[in-house]
């Protein structure tokens, strides 16, 4: 919860541009944060909360988080597919308003339809879905489908990047623009691997071993997703780090020296 809150704060301070990528990151963190908060409040004061209501909200928030993971993978696939036009604007494919509509409407429809079709599907003692029932597939069905689709998308991304790098390596001219594109493609490959590890692996491992491993251990594993999201999207984000250092130097020096220091640093980096 701490790292998810830090990620939201970082987005508010450093990533104010309203595009699909930022909207996906913010809403993914918000869904996970509200889920963890609801779980914590439920453990602390379960006698004061209606279990069925809590379970319904958890059902919706978990599904919403998975849908946002899928949207993030789709956006990454679109950007990689357009590697021949490497600087294509992603908002032409999916704008942030459409992303918000998909991210919250789809889970709401699944929860509403499943609850209307199957009565008493929520467990009143553990505030979750009744396991080993048809109603539980209103959660596990979409989750397995999204995880499988994410795997397919990430495999397709790796294949596209591999073929693109191969074509660039076979280019006889080796123009400067080609080399710049190659560096950008490698950067996208590393980000793809990081996102796959962040968005997919904790949940896949958790869902596979939840029947054989202690439930609390699985919850801890999944909760580490907030830590991974913060480090990948904030700590390892060059734009965010540059702005953060600019603010830190502003607190230490006056405005003019800070600009001079940043200019000298940028010039030295370009020269190197």
27 and 77 within one domain: yes
- CB under 8 Å to 214, separation ≥6 — which residues? none
- Residue by residue, pLDDT tens for the chain (272 residues) are 899 999 999 888 876 666 788 899 999 999 999 988 887 877 655 554 578 888 899 899 989 999 998 998 888 888 888 765 544 444 456 788 889 999 999 999 999 999 888 888 887 777 788 877 889 899 889 988 998 898 898 888 888 887 877 776 655 445 555 556 667 677 777 777 777 777 666 676 666 655 555 556 556 666 778 888 888 888 877 778 888 788 777 777 755 444 444 454 444 444 44
- Asked if 103 and 44 sit in the same domain, the reply is yes
Residue 202 sits in the same domain as residue 244: no
User: What's the whole-model pTM score?
Assistant: 0.80
Same domain, 146 and 160: yes
Containing structural domain, residue 257? 237-272
Q: Please, what is the end-to-end C-alpha distance for the chain in angstroms?
A: 40
Residue 148 shares a structural domain with residue 34: yes
pLDDT at 68: 92
Residues 30 and 156 in one domain: yes
Separation of alpha carbons 248 and 186, rounded Å = 30
Residue 119 burial by Cβ neighbours in a 10 Å radius (0-12, 13-18, 19+): exposed
Same domain, 264 and 169: no
Identify whether residues 70 and 123 lie together within a single domain. yes
Whether residues 36 and 151 share a domain: the answer is yes
Q: Are residues 115 and 176 in the same domain?
A: yes
- Please check whether residues 115 and 78 belong to one and the same domain: yes
Comparing CA positions, the residue from 88, 85, 100, 101 lying closest to residue 22 is 100
Residues 101 and 212 placed together within one structural domain of the fold: yes
* Total number of domains in the chain: 2
Domain containing residue 26: CATH number: 1.20.1070.10
């Amino acid at each position: 919860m701490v790292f998810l809150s830090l990620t939201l704060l970082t987005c508010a301070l450093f990533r104010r541009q309203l595009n699909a990528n930022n909207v996906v990151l913010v809403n993914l963190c918000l869904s996970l944060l509200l889920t963890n908060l609801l779980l914590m409040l439920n453990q602390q004061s379960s006698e004061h909360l209606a279990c069925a209501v809590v379970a319904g909200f958890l059902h919706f928030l978990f599904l919403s988080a998975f849908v946002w993971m899928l949207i993030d993978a789709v956006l990454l696939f679109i950007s990689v597919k357009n590697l021949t036009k490497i600087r294509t604007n992603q908002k032409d494919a999916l704008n942030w308003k459409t992303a918000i509509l998909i991210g919250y409407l789809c889970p709401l429809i699944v929860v509403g339809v499943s609850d209307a079709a199957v009565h008493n599907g929520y467990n009143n003692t553990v505030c979750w879905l009744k396991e080993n029932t048809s109603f539980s597939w209103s959660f596990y069905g979409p989750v397995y489908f999204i995880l499988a689709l994410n795997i397919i998308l990430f495999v397709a991304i790796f294949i596209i990047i591999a073929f693109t790098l191969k074509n660039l390596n076979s280019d006889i001219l080796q123009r400067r623009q080609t080399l710049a594109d190659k560096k950008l493609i490698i950067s996208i490959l590393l980000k793809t691997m990081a996102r796959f590890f962040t968005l997919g692996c904790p949940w896949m491992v958790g869902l596979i071993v939840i029947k054989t491993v202690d439930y609390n251990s699985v919850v801890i594993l999944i909760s580490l997703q907030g830590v991974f999201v913060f480090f990948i999207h904030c700590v390892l984000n060059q734009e965010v780090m540059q702005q953060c250092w600019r603010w830190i130097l502003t607190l230490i020096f006056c405005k003019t020296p800070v600009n001079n220091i940043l200019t000298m640093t940028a010039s030295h980096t370009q020269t190197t």
